[in-house]
Structure 1
Amino acid sequence: MSAPAFYDELRALRLERLLDASVAIITEEGWDRLSMTKVAQRSGVPRQSLYKEVGTKSELGAAVVHREVGRFLTGVRAGIAAHPDSVADGLAAAARFALEYGETNAVLKVILRPGHDPELLELLTVRPDVLEQVVQAVLDALGHPRAGTDARVVAARVAMVDSMVRLTLSHLLQPTVGIDEAVDRITHTVHGFPS
């Protein structure tokens, strides 16, 4: 017998409170100052329940990153969906969203500022599954090639999306130009791939 939806909703609400409290502490005090005690106090969730829900501080950081990646991917998909007739325009819209989101996202700002704890940056950037998840989400949002499409065309699309994602993340981590110029450069690169 499965648990009633009420308990699932209650658990989801508790997790959101924990993540919201964690984000508030990270943005106000930094990752180094985040503690399970502070999260429990700020969220109103007992420490024992906090440990049951998320485990360790590192697992809590992973949960924060997972939620942020989910929100990020929702915006990327919306950018692509807004341009169903043009892959390049869809990818440009996705890149623009990613760069604007990164510029305004409080957690990301804390991670990228000088003197951050590299553990949280590692959770966000170097885990290959996060990069692969973003690439796959972009490919899925573009739609699957028709059956019988030449394997070289499929490989070119994968390479194009992988390059676009890596360029966007690179600019996000170390911007050298404004968002408009970055999107222009990314779009120019995307146009260089065969259709």
Structure 2
Amino acid sequence: MGAVKTKRMPRAVREQQMLDAAVETFGRRGYMAASMDEIAELAGVSKPLVYLYLNSKEDLFTACIRREAAALTEAVRSGVRTDQPADRQLWDGLLAFFTHTGQKPDAWSVLHLQARTHGEPFAAEVAAMREEIVAFVTQLIVVAAREAHRDPDLPEREVAGLAEALVGAAESLAAWANATPGVTAKQAAATLMNFAWAGLGDLMEGRPWARQGASG
């Protein structure tokens, strides 16, 4: 009897296996230090097969960024129920963000550290993801602001800066949480809610901060 042939793994499955190995390697070792040899070994394939599927180290890294950016964006979007009050929507979005980045620290390292420091094409990929998340957060805030101010035409620019600040704070806090043993996603989300919501709540009620004694 001849040798039994094993079923070939579908290309899509094999490619995801390679991307998994690449994200782990890039996230832990950094883009420059990571080698295609160790990525192939971790994926359990030959190096020529990695090149056949994903062309080059640059293309492989780009594919990792795109996959992980899409996964993070989807996690945040799917975590929010738009029929909930504004504070609950923001909480759910933050919790989804910190849960995802906490469960996938290598992916977050790729997006937050590696992609931003190794060339404009990589940074542009992450910037596109960030713009999408900022736009989503802007919508969360502007809907609540329009309701609070009873002004359905309140322009988005009135809250766009708040969304930028909130996303920036979440990014920094995720990096800190991943580097600090024992910090949970709920703790990170609560930290940012306690920091941000009091101020946002005042803004929703038409009570912006003003320097005491300022004129004009």
Q: How far off is 1:85 after superposition? A: 2.8
Q: How far off is 1:171 after superposition? A: 2.0
Spell out, residue by residue over 1:80-118, the C-alpha distance to the aligned partner (whole angstroms, 9 max, x if none): 22x523223211221122223323323057569xxxxx6
**Residues in 2 aligned to 1:57 and 1:99: alpha-carbon distance in whole angstroms:** 29
1:68 aligns with 2:68: yes
Q: Which has the larger radius of gyration?
A: 2
Q: How many residues align?
A: 178
Q: Is the Cα–Cα contact under 8 Å of residues 65 and 110 in structure 2 kept in the other structure? A: no
> 3-state SS of the aligned residue for 2:156?
helix
Q: How far off is 1:174 after superposition? A: 4.3
> 3-state SS of the aligned residue for 1:22?
helix
Aligned to 1:15: 15
- Which consecutive residues of structure 1, in runs of 5 or more, have no partner in the other structure? 1-8, 113-117
Q: How far off is 1:194 after superposition? A: 4.1
Q: 1:171 to 1:57 in 2, by over 3 A?
A: same
> 3-state SS of the aligned residue for 1:25?
helix
Q: How far off is 1:19 after superposition? A: 0.7
- The residue type paired with residue 191 of structure 2 is E
**Percent of aligned pairs with the same amino acid:** 18
**What RMSD over aligned residues (CA atoms) do the two structures have, in Å?**
3.9
> 3-state SS of the aligned residue for 1:153?
coil
- The residue type paired with residue 91 of structure 2 is A
**Residues in 2 aligned to 1:119 and 1:54: alpha-carbon distance in whole angstroms:** 19
Q: What does 1:87-166 correspond to in 2, within 5 Å?
A: 87-108=86-107, 119-122=114-117, 123=122, 127-138=126-137, 149-150=152-153, 152-166=154-168
1:186 aligns with 2:196: yes
Q: How far off is 1:46 after superposition? A: 4.2
Q: Is the Cα–Cα contact under 8 Å of residues 156 and 194 in structure 1 kept in the other structure? A: no
> TM-score, normalization: structure 2?
0.62
**Quick check: 100-109 or 66-75, which moved more?**
100-109
Q: Is the Cα–Cα contact under 8 Å of residues 37 and 47 in structure 2 kept in the other structure? A: yes
Aligned to 1:115: none
- Which consecutive residues of structure 2, in runs of 5 or more, have no partner in the other structure? 1-8, 206-216
Q: Is the Cα–Cα contact under 8 Å of residues 40 and 47 in structure 2 kept in the other structure? A: yes
**Residues in 2 aligned to 1:131 and 1:30: alpha-carbon distance in whole angstroms:** 21
**Residues in 2 aligned to 1:189 and 1:143: alpha-carbon distance in whole angstroms:** 15
1:86 aligns with 2:85: yes
Q: How far off is 1:26 after superposition? A: 3.8
- The residue type paired with residue 57 of structure 2 is K
Q: 1:74 to 1:93 in 2, by over 3 A?
A: same
